[in-house]
């Protein structure tokens, strides 16, 4: 034997050549690692930028909070707001003579005007909506106009503003305005102002600030083409968006591996700053480097494959012959003879395959005979199963009838049980529809010993299907379920209807349908798996015919319908 062409040497040569594959795998791993590190680096960079933007926003919110706290720092402001609540500034109202409202109004206007123009944040106006007698009034100081202006608003406007602040007590609430970014606009700070001494609510203080400082902080964050930056307030209103960011994209990105979502909650305002990063954008940025890695890997793979084909050509023909022989065995052609030329190792494999095919052919014939006998035994065993609890209850019923002297009813019941066991003990694996329904009647009559008039039943056997042969004991398990599971805990009466019919199919064939209907409690079929009894029925149906099956439709509180379907494409009569 030429060891240079032995099977072992060829396998070793193939192994050495195939070591190129780990090299290719290493190249692929490096490219993926490079992409991953680039993504992690960009995530860290954006996380830092997000924190910086959040810090700048929190500083802006803190400054507005300081302005909104003014009524608690200056007595004149708090007193003026009290008089606004009492309606003393309303047209036609004469305030008490001892109140110096003119001086208080001047102090109120000057202080808030100074705060308007001294704030680094672009504060546009400060408005106060009083409660009480002054409800419906709006006292505002605007950056572009002088003095304190007085306008009327609806009560609903005041109630709407109050609905935003009431969950937060005296804390400040920040709200974005719809379309604020498009109009270059503003956002609001709302705070419920209370009297420092009495704790009574005086009204709503509203500070409107421009968003330019917010936009300046967030515009510094560079967003890639398919990424986005989204700022929303507590109500979900979009205050700022950049790139492709929308609430829909944020919801989509939360469960997608194509995006990385970084969230930051602005503690002072309760707003949400979300950065949506597109993984594809980062991959595009590293595509050139990854492309070089893949090109090198592809060239290495092609070179290795060419060398493999060149050096293993002599073994390929023999291996193909052996593989073809294996496929023949898989397809059931056990008499196929494998022939190879040259290497003795391959010849030994071919001889072993030929011997295996011959032994498998003999074994399959033996196994087929054994399985036929086993299937017959399994079928007889499956059809002989009956619920022992039922038998226990029937015998107890016989004892009770005997003690009560119900001799005639006892004799009738014993005859029902005798017919029941004669039917079960019959070794036939099939029966007729009429006999199967008669067996169900015997079973129901015995159940009526226990439940009496709580069980009523109707049996309708179509004469056209009465003599059709079916598997034994496929109806009784469903009848038993009607009683065991269909009756309420308080034994509410139940009606059971047994029906049979033939249905003509579109292909010209016919299907026998055995229907069992009850008016019981019903159940949720999706959450209740079939029990042992119904599994038994399915096994016997599949042994009888591979396409025989049953269907269950049940509605809680309305009852259950079972349909057993047997195709009439075999001899069943």
- Residue 446 or residue 347, greater confidence: 446
Q: How far apart are CA 15 and CA 371, in angstroms?
A: 44
pLDDT given for residue 21 in this prediction: 67
What does the DSSP 8-state code read for residue 147?
A: S
Instruction: Compute the distance between CA of residue 394 and CA of residue 387 in angstroms, rounded to an integer.
Output: 11
Instruction: Provide the 3-class DSSP secondary structure of residue 35.
Output: helix
* Of residues 184 and 421, more confidently modeled: 421
Whether the predicted pLDDT of 373 surpasses 60 = no
CA–CA distance, 96 with 113 (Å, rounded to integer): 27
CA 127 to CA 138: how far, in whole Å? 7
- Least confident range from 23-32, 62-71, 513-522, 550-559: namely 23-32
Higher local confidence (pLDDT), 231 or 184: 231
Residue 459 pLDDT more than 60? yes
Region 149-163: mean pLDDT is 90
Query: For residues 69, 70, 72 and 76, what is the CA-based torsion angle, rounded to 10 degrees?
Result: -160
Contacts 24+ apart (CB under 8 A), 189-197: 189/61, 189/64, 189/65, 189/67, 189/68, 190/161, 190/164, 190/165, 191/68, 191/165, 192/162, 192/165, 192/166, 192/168, 193/71, 193/78, 193/81, 193/128, 194/170, 195/78, 195/82, 196/72, 196/78
Strand, helix or coil for residue 408? helix
Q: 């954006």: which residue's tokens?
A: 46
pLDDT digits (tens, 9 = 90+) for 312-360: 556 666 777 777 777 777 777 777 777 776 667 777 787 787 778 777 7
Asked whether the beta carbons of 146 and 112 are under 8 A apart, the reply is no
> Does residue 453 register a pLDDT over 60?
yes
- Which pLDDT does position 370 carry in this prediction? 53
Task: Record the pTM.
Answer: 0.46
Length of the chain: 573
4 or 211: which leads in pLDDT: 211
Share of the chain above pLDDT 70, in %: 81
Residue 14 or 89, more confident:
89
If you search the block for the tokens 């930051």, which residue do you land on?
264
Q: What is the mean pLDDT of residues 211-219?
A: 75
531 membership: H or E segment, kind and range: none
The pLDDT value given to residue 190: 92
**What mean pLDDT comes out for the span 269-293?**
73
Instruction: Show the tokens assigned to 381.
Output: 């065993």
Report the alpha-carbon distance of residue 462 to residue 449 in Å, rounded: 28
pLDDT at 24: 67
Q: What is the pLDDT of residues 121-145, one digit of tens each?
A: 678 899 999 998 888 899 999 988 8
d(CA 410, CA 40): 84
Pairing between β-strand 510-518 and β-strand 494-504 as defined by DSSP bridges: antiparallel
């Amino acid at each position: 034997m030429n060891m240079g062409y032995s099977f072992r040497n060829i396998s070793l040569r193939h192994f050495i050549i195939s070591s190129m594959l780990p090299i290719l795998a290493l190249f692929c791993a490096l490219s993926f690692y490079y992409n991953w590190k680039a993504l992690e680096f960009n995530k860290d960079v954006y996380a830092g930028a997000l924190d910086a933007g959040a810090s700048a926003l929190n500083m802006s919110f803190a400054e507005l909070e300081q302005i909104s706290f003014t009524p608690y720092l200056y007595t004149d402001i708090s007193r003026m707001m009290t008089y606004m609540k009492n309606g003393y500034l309303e047209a036609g109202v004469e305030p008490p003579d001892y109140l110096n409202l003119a001086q208080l109004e001047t102090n109120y206007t000057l202080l808030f005007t100074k705060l308007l123009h001294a704030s680094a944040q672009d504060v546009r106006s400060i408005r106060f909506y009083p409660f009480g007698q002054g409800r419906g009034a709006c006292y505002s100081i605007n950056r572009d106009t002088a003095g304190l202006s007085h306008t009327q608003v609806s009560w609903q406007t005041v109630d709407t503003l109050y609905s935003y602040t009431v969950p937060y007590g005296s804390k400040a609430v920040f709200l974005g305005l719809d379309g604020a970014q498009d109009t270059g606009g503003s956002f609001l700070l709302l705070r419920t102002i209370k009297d420092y001494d009495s704790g009574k609510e005086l009204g709503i203080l509203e500070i409107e600030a421009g968003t330019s400082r917010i936009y300046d902080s967030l515009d510094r964050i560079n967003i890639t083409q398919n990424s986005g930056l989204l700022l929303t307030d507590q109500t979900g209103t979009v205050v700022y968006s950049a790139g492709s960011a929308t609430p829909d994209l944020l919801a989509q990105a939360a469960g997608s591996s194509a995006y990385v979502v970084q969230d930051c909650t602005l503690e002072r305002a309760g707003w949400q700053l979300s950065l949506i990063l597109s993984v594809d954008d980062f991959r595009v940025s590293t595509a050139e480097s990854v492309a070089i890695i893949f090109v090198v890997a592809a060239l290495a793979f092609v070179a290795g494959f060419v060398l493999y084909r060149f050096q293993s050509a002599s073994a390929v023909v023999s291996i193909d012959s052996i593989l073809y022989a294996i496929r023949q065995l898989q397809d059931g052609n056990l008499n196929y003879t494998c022939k190879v030329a040259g290497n003795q190792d391959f010849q030994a494999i071919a001889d072993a395959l030929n011997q295996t095919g011959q032994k498998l052919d003999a074994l399959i014939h033996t196994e087929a005979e054994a399985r036929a006998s086993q299937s017959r035994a399994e079928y007889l065993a499956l059809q002989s199963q009956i619920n022992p609890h039922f038998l226990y209850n029937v015998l107890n019923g016989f004892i009770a009838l005997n003690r009560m002297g119900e001799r005639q009813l006892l004799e009738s019941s014993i005859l029902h049980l005798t017919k029941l066991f004669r039917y079960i003990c019959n070794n036939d694996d099939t029966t007729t529809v009429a006999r199967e329904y008669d067996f169900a009647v015997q079973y129901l009559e015995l159940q009526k010993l226990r439940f009496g008039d709580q069980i009523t039943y109707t049996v309708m056997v179509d004469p056209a299907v009465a003599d059709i042969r079916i598997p034994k004991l496929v109806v009784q398990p469903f009848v038993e379920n009607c009683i065991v599971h269909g009756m309420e805990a308080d034994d509410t009466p139940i009606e059971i209807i047994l029906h049979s019919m033939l249905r003509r199919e579109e292909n010209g064939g016919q299907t026998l349908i055995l229907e069992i209907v009850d008016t019981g409690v019903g159940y949720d079929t999706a959450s209740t798996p079939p029990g042992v009894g119904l599994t038994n029925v399915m096994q016997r149906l599949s042994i009888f015919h591979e396409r025989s099956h049953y269907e269950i439709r049940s509605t809680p509180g309305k009852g259950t319908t079972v349909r057993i379907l047997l195709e009439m494409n075999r001899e069943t009569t």
